[in-house]
């Protein structure tokens, strides 16, 4: 028997696809979301200020009667993430931008972060006229390589901005120790890390000064758009609250503005959906973990596929994305992009992820951007030179990474079998 005899014709070459049925869709919702939104609509109270002032630290999450949905969502989310305080905002990007400002980041300050992330992680720094400085990623985890942080510290460094990519916790013990040693602030980008738990005792977003979450539609806790900032520090919550509310202070005169703030307030409709979705989060994450373990056990046996490594201390993962590392050398030289196209033809949706690292986006080196910083007396690094400094991130973007969306992990065992079969079929066609 030769292998060629057993090879099935790929769907991309006209063969029958492994799967024709759709996978689980996202977001998941029912009448509860519709009712929650209708209740807000009927109440005629569509913004939090319709309920009067906010009292930090004196709120009872179980008492929801007559209270702003935004406040209630904040209390429930803080409780779920094991934080003292939470503040709802308009997006994950807004959360990051406001948290950096509240952390005292000034124009020209340097913030060390990862290049393997959504662009908001970079622009939240630059919108504060601060300068992003990148470590490479750890190729095993795709998170920032904490071992490189100290190499990037200069006298202008003020903060570290780790991203818990795909819900995989960064090495927060090393990052925390470096931050303490060099007196740096830590702002966690936890846009993918709702309900992510470390050693059964601490949740993502509570290791640094601020944790920033996104509720954009694709996220594990979706509200369409929206975001949340969490912190354990009273002064921190008062600062972000003021900055997100035109610099106002609670208990002060309405038209008196103490900081150069802006309007990043979460509206009541968003919060109403968020409350319902939060009630679904932990059960969904548990299902994702179960299906992920089953699926990667199968995928890891195939040549050319290595699941990216999770932090060993993780007790609850969100698997916002199932992250796989692809090695074309083991699949007859088939490029990752062609592999993913062949998978799609088999009815298995996979993504190649970011086209390039954050620093390689056109605006990072454009004259428009550089001129804006120059006018403020700030010179940006030569971001084109980062390609050599970050070979692992380059490799991930151009050759290696494959993402499976978390919605796929909410399906059945049979769905996981189909995904694994699709991978096996395409790999089988290119291996001896």
Ligand X SMILES: Cc1ncc(COP(=O)(O)O)c(C=O)c1O
Q: Annotate 319-341 with DSSP letters as a single string.
A: -SEEEEEE-GGGTTT--HHHHHH
**The one among 54, 114, 121, 318 contacting ligand X by CB under 6 A:** 121
Which of 120, 126, 196, 321: binder of ligand X (CB under 6 A)? 120
Half-sphere exposure of 253 (CA within 13 A, CB side): 4
Q: Judged by CB, which is closer to ligand X: 94, or 331?
A: 94
| Residues of span 218-277 touching ligand X by CB under 6 A | 227
Q: Which of 118, 142, 241, 269 binds ligand X (CB under 6 A)?
A: 118
SS3 content of the chain, % helix, strand, coil (to 5): 45, 15, 40
Q: Return d(Cα 296, Cα 146) in angstroms, integer.
A: 26
185 strand-pairing partners? 159
159 and 184 Cβ atoms separated by less than 8 Å:
yes
> Taking CB under 6 A as the rule, does residue 360 contact ligand X?
no
**CB–CB of 233/186 below 8 Å?**
no
**Smaller CB separation from ligand X, 322 or 334:** 322
CB of 96 vs ligand X, minimal distance in Å: 6
Using CB atoms within 10 A of its CB, is residue 249 exposed (0-12), middle (13-18) or buried (19+)?
Answer: middle
Q: Is 11 in the site for ligand X (CB under 6 A)?
A: no
Sign of CA dihedral 257, 263, 269, 272: negative
Give whichever of 92 and 347 is closer to ligand X, judged by the CB atom.
92
x/- track of binding to ligand X for residues 151-170 (CB under 6 A): ------------x-------
Residue 304 lies near ligand X (rule: CB under 6 A): no
Residue 108 bridge partners (DSSP): none
Q: Could you tell me which stretch among 70-78, 118-126, 137-145, 286-294 binds ligand X (CB under 6 A)?
A: 118-126
Residues between 49 and 108 with contacts to ligand X, criterion CB under 6 A: 91-93
Question: Which of these, 24, 21, 36, 110, lies nearest to 407 by C-alpha position?
Answer: 24
Beta-strand pair 85-89/227-231? antiparallel
Compute the distance between CA of residue 204 and CA of residue 255 in angstroms, rounded to an integer: 36
- Spatial distance between the Cα atoms of 422 and 415, rounded to a whole number of angstroms: 11
Choose which of 189, 209, 400, 405 interacts with ligand X (CB under 6 A): 189
Measured from the CB atom, the residue of 96 and 424 that comes closer to ligand X is 96
| Least distance from ligand X to the Cβ atom of residue 113, Å | 10
Task: Evaluate whether 134 touches 122 at the Cβ level (below 8 Å).
Answer: no
Least spacing, CB of residue 225 vs ligand X, in Å: 6
Complex with ligand X: residue 191 or 416, whichever CB lies closer: 191
Query: Closest residue (Cβ) to ligand X?
Result: 92
Among 35-43, 50-58, 188-196, 386-394, the segment contacting ligand X (CB under 6 A): 188-196
Check binding of 191 to ligand X (CB under 6 A). yes
Asked whether position 291 contacts ligand X by CB under 6 A, the answer is: no
Interface residue with ligand X among 54, 113, 114, 117 (CB under 6 A) is 117
Strands 305-307 and 185-189: unpaired
Segment interacting with ligand X, rule: CB under 6 A, options 20-28, 114-122, 126-134, 260-268: 114-122
Helix or strand or coil: residue 295?
helix
Interface residue list for ligand X (CB under 6 A):
91-93, 117-118, 120-121, 163, 189, 191-192, 214, 216, 227
């Amino acid at each position: 028997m030769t292998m060629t005899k057993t090879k099935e014709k790929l769907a991309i070459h006209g063969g029958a696809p492994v799967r024709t049925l759709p996978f689980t869709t996202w977001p998941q919702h029912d009448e509860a979301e519709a009712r929650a939104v209708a209740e807000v609509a009927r109440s005629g109270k569509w913004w939090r200020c319709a309920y009067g002032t906010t009292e930090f630290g004196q709120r009872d999450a179980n008492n929801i009667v007559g209270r702003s949905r935004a406040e209630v969502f904040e209390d429930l989310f803080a409780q779920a993430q094991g934080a003292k305080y939470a503040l709802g905002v308009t997006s994950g990007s807004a959360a990051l931008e406001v948290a950096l400002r509240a952390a005292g980041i000034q124009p020209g300050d340097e913030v060390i972060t990862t290049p393997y992330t959504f662009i908001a992680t970079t622009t939240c720094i630059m919108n504060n006229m601060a300068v992003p400085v990148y470590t490479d990623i750890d190729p095993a985890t795709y998170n920032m390589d904490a071992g490189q942080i100290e190499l990037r510290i200069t006298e202008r460094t003020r903060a570290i901005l780790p991203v818990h990519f795909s819900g995989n916790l960064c090495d927060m013990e090393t990052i925390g120790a470096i931050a303490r040693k060099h007196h740096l602030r830590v702002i966690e980008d936890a846009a993918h890390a709702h309900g992510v738990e470390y050693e059964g005792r601490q949740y993502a977003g509570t290791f640094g000064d601020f944790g920033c979450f996104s509720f954009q539609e694709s996220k594990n806790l979706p509200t369409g758009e929206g975001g949340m900032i969490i912190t354990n520090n009273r002064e921190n919550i008062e600062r972000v609250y003021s900055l997100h509310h035109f610099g106002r202070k609670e208990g002060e005169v309405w038209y008196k503005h103490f900081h150069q703030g802006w309007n990043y307030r979460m509206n009541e409709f968003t919060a109403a959906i968020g409350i319902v979705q939060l009630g679904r989060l932990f059960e969904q994450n548990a299902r994702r973990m179960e299906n992920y373990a089953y699926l990667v056990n199968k995928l890891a046996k195939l040549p050319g596929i290595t699941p990216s490594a999770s932090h060993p201390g993780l007790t609850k993962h969100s698997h916002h994305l199932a992250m796989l590392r692809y090695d074309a050398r083991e699949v007859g030289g088939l490029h990752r992009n062609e592999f993913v196209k062949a998978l799609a033809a088999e009815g298995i949706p996979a993504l190649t992820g970011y086209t390039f690292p954050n620093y390689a986006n056109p605006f990072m080196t454009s004259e428009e951007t550089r001129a804006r910083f120059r006018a403020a007396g700030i010179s940006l690094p030569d971001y084109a030179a980062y390609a050599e400094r970050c070979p692992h991130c380059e490799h991930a973007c151009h050759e290696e990474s494959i993402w499976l969306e978390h919605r796929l992990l909410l399906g059945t065992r049979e769905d996981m079998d189909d995904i694994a079969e699709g991978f096996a079929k395409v790999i089988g066609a290119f291996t001896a």
